[in-house]
Amino acid sequence: MIAVELRGVRKSFGTQRVLDDIDLSVPAGSVFALLGPNGAGKTTVVNILATLVAPDSGTASVGGYDVRTARDSAKGVLSLTGQSVAVDEVLTGSENLIMVSRLWGLSRRESRLRARALLEQFDLADAARRQVKTYSGGMRRRLDLALSLIRRPEVLFLDEPTTGLDTRSRRSLWAQIRDLRSAGTTIFLTTQYLEEAEQLADRVAVLAGGRIVADGTPAELKSQVGEDVVEIRSADDELLGAVATDGSVDGLHRAITQLAEVAQPDATVSLRSPSLEDVFLSLTGPALQQKEVQS
Amino acid sequence: MTALSPRRRVAVGVSELTFIERSLRRSVRNVDALLMAIMLPVLVMFLFTFVFGGSIDPSGNYVNYVVPGIILLCAGFGASSTAVDVAGDMTTGIIDRFRSLPIPATAVLTGHVVASLLRNLVATGVVVVVALAVGFRPTGGPGDWLAAISVVALYILAITYLFAAIGLASSSPEAASGYGFILLFLPYLSSAFVEVSTLPSWLQPIAQYQPVTPTIEAIRSLLMGTSMGNNAVIAVGWCVLILVIAATWGAWLFRRKAGHR
């Protein structure tokens, strides 16, 4: 079953074309990561799917509901945690949760119970009665996510959910995402952190210049770059250059020859598997690896 | 975790009630703004009765003329703070959360508007009590008072909803408070502080037919026993028209406009 689908979606703001013929489909129950440089249009994709922005053309559906023609049904199965934290600063954490629970149709009593359970689950019980403006960034993010999980959504959109979080908060959010996935929720996330996509995603797509330039499992995308990456680093571990190879002896030989041009006397060479970062840079930037070698 | 999907059907009015509760909590916690909302009308009334009043009406009865005007002027102040509140929602991420929920498009604005109406009615009550203390001597009976309060409430509701929609349309809270200035100016171009017949002749038709004059004249007639004419009908007509336009515009904006940061 397909949980999220985009077909031929285009969107311009004024004269600026942000999305140009986007096709994507995400199977139910999986974690999907949309990668792309700043300004690539990741947030616009999420906003279209979350019914906040209408596409100029093409169709988008969530949980099988078209976001334009069956907007309310689509809203009923999705939750959104946007890029900026969507909480009421003047209210307390508990009041925020009760408010959104009521908006989902829970009774006052059910709302209180649900709020209490979520505060417990997200490690906010001690701060329940404090106004959110006294919360730290990590606490706000946790409350924000809790607000998206009043009832378990079929599809959860997370737009750069870990931006600005410290390592510990990031890890705990990743754990929450994995739990949700095992409970059957489809997760559609955008991120700038390739490690995050590497850790969480079943499938990855790269958005650049308003188009999907790659779409597949992390392993598939990595194999497009090449078999191995040869890196050369200076004595103080600064990256001097990196070249992808096809894994053959000849290929390795060519790579070493190329890298010799930038070598410093005490530089060291190492061989590693390609990372999503290599995929990302080779797709979204001017060929960085070549540039580094030539500079 | 507890699975609470699928979503239940939300009872009619629950979303609105929830947002009214939210806005009231926010009002009560914003003590500075709440004090200002109540103090400002009282200060404005002192200004008009004690500072300007003597030269406008040397007989000393100006307070009896000016109170309905003060009430409407202050309704404008209160309403314009709603535009700022709504524009504030637009600049935090929260409006996008609300917009992604399956709730009526007008519920968020209704919450802001009803809370503002209640704040404004409290301020109006304080103004009337202080006015009575400084010599305001209305002649209306309980029925007249009830009718006058209804007219005031309807006017506040209409103008507040309009300001709420303006808040949604503005690009920032600062812009929202700027747009509000034009509407705050309307009471000065009405029969609020001086009789329309004393204005230059080109200004008289504007003053006579804009919404504020019939509303003030209707309140004056109810409380002070001046002649009603068709002022009540025109006042209610204006308020209902403004309310319908503002609610339609507001719902349209809510569906279309994403938050901006």
Q: Encode pLDDT of B56-77 as tens digits.
A: 888 878 888 999 999 998 888 8
Domains of chain A: 2-216 (3.40.50.300), 224-294 (no CATH)
Q: What is the pLDDT of residue A83?
A: 84
Q: Which residue has the higher pLDDT, A67 or B105?
A: A67
Any domain includes B84? yes
Residue B1 placed within a domain: no
Domain presence at residue B33: yes
> Is the minimum CB–CB distance between B15 and chain A shorter than 8 Å?
yes
Give A278 to chain B, closest Cα distance, Å: 32
Note the pLDDT of residue B8.
Answer: 56
Helix (H) or strand (E) holding A57: strand A57-62
A102 CB near a chain B CB, below 8 Å? Answer: yes
User: For B217-230, what is each residue's pLDDT tens digit?
Assistant: 999 999 998 888 89
Residues of chain B contacting residue A84, judged by C-beta atoms under 8 Å apart = 92-93, 261
Contact B15 A103 (CB under 8 A): yes
Q: Do residues A216 and A24 lie in contact, with contact meaning Cβ atoms separated by under 8 Å?
A: no
CB < 8 Å from A in window 150-169 of B: none
Query: B86 Cβ partners below 8 Å, 6+ apart?
Result: B108, B109, B112, B163, B164, B167, B168, B176
Q: Is residue B7 part of a domain?
A: no
Q: What CA–CA distance (Å, rounded) separates A224 from A246?
A: 10
Q: Which residue of B has its CA nearest to A182?
A: B1
Q: How far does the CA of residue B36 sit from the closest CA of chain A (Å)?
A: 18
Q: Minimum mean pLDDT among A167-176, B135-144, B234-243: which range?
A: A167-176
Rounded alpha-carbon distances, angstroms, from residue A41 to A3, A17, A34, A37, B153 = 21, 10, 10, 9, 46
Candidate from A84, A99, A100 with C-beta closest to B261? A84
Q: Tell me what pLDDT residue A287 has.
A: 43
- With a pLDDT cut of 90, the percent of chain B lying above it is 44
pLDDT of B245 above 90 = yes
* B14–chain A Cβ distance below 8 A for any pair: yes
State whether residue B198 sits within 8 Å of chain A by CB. Answer: no
One digit per residue, pLDDT tens: chain A, 295 residues? 899 999 999 999 888 899 999 999 999 999 999 998 888 899 999 999 999 999 999 999 999 999 999 998 999 999 999 888 899 999 999 999 999 999 999 999 999 999 999 999 999 999 999 999 999 988 998 999 999 999 889 999 999 988 877 888 888 889 989 999 999 999 999 988 888 888 899 999 999 888 998 899 888 887 777 777 788 888 887 877 777 777 788 888 888 888 888 777 788 888 777 777 777 777 776 543 443 433 3
- A76, A86, A131: residue with CB nearest B7: A76
User: Which among A138, A46, A125 is positioned nearest to A93, based on CA atoms?
Assistant: A125
Q: How far apart are CA B30 and CA B179, in angstroms?
A: 23
Q: What tens digit of pLDDT does each residue of B173-217 get? A: 888 888 877 778 888 889 888 888 899 999 999 999 899 999 999
Contact A102/B11, CB-based, under 8 Å? no
What would the DSSP string read from start to end of B144-212?
Answer: HHHHHHHHHHHHHHHHHHHHHHHHHHSSSHHHHHHHHHHHHHGGGGTTTTS-GGGS-TTTHHHHHHSTH
Residue B4 to residue A104, Cβ atoms within 8 A? yes
Separation CA B218–CA B238 (nearest Å): 12
With contact defined as beta carbons under 8 Å apart, do B58 and B150 qualify? no
Mark yes or no for CB contact B101/A102 under 8 Å.
no
> Considering the domain boundaries, does residue B74 fall inside one?
yes
Contact A218, A201 (CB under 8 A): yes
Residue B261 lies in a domain: no
Q: How far is CA B17 from CA A111, A234, B47, B97, in A?
A: 14, 65, 38, 18
| Contact between residue B137 and residue B89 where contact means Cβ atoms under 8 Å apart | no
Q: Which of residues 74-113 of B touch A (CB under 8 A)?
A: 92-94, 96-103
Per-residue confidence (pLDDT) for residue B5, from 0 to 100: 45
pLDDT at residue A264, rounded to an integer: 78
Q: Is A28 left (phi over 0), alpha (psi -120 to 50) or beta?
A: beta
- Look at B26 and A105 and tell me if their CB atoms are within 8 Å: no
Q: Which of A102, A150, A153 sits opposite B14 (nearest CB)?
A: A102
Continuous segment of H or E residues that includes residue A245: strand A239-245
Chains A and B form CB pairs within 8 A to the count of 107
A117 close contact with B: CB closer than 8 A: yes
Asked if B70 contacts B41 with a C-beta cutoff of 8 angstroms, the reply is yes
For residues B127 and B74, the answer to whether their CB atoms sit within 8 Å is: yes
Those of residues 217-256 in B touching chain A at CB distance below 8 A are 256
Closest residue on chain A to B258 (Cα): A52
* Other CB atoms within 10 A of residue B135 CB: 12
Which of B86, B94, B97 to probe the A interface (max A CBs under 10 A)? B97
Residue B177 falls inside a structural domain: yes
What ipTM does the predicted assembly reach? 0.83
Q: Is B12 helix (H, G, I), strand (E, B) or coil?
A: coil
Q: Which two tokens stand for residue B138?
A: 């209305």
Residues of B in contact with A147 (CB under 8 A): 97
Whether A94 and chain B come into contact, CB under 8 Å, resolves to no
Q: How many domains does chain B have?
A: 1
User: CB distance from B9 to chain A under 8 Å?
Assistant: yes
**Amino acid at residue number B232:** A
pLDDT at position A253 is: 84
- Chain B residues whose CB is inside 8 A of the A80 CB are 96-97, 100
What are the counts of helices (DSSP H) followed by strands (DSSP E) for chain B?
Answer: 11, 0
Position B14 in a domain: no
Domain residues for the domain of B148 are: 22-256
CB contact under 8 A, B100 and A51: yes
CA distance B67 to B193: 9
> Are A267 and A232 a contacting pair, CB within 8 Å?
yes
Closest by Cα among A186, A204, A262, A188 to A230 = A262
Q: Please tell me the distance in Å from A183's CA to the nearest CA on chain B.
A: 8
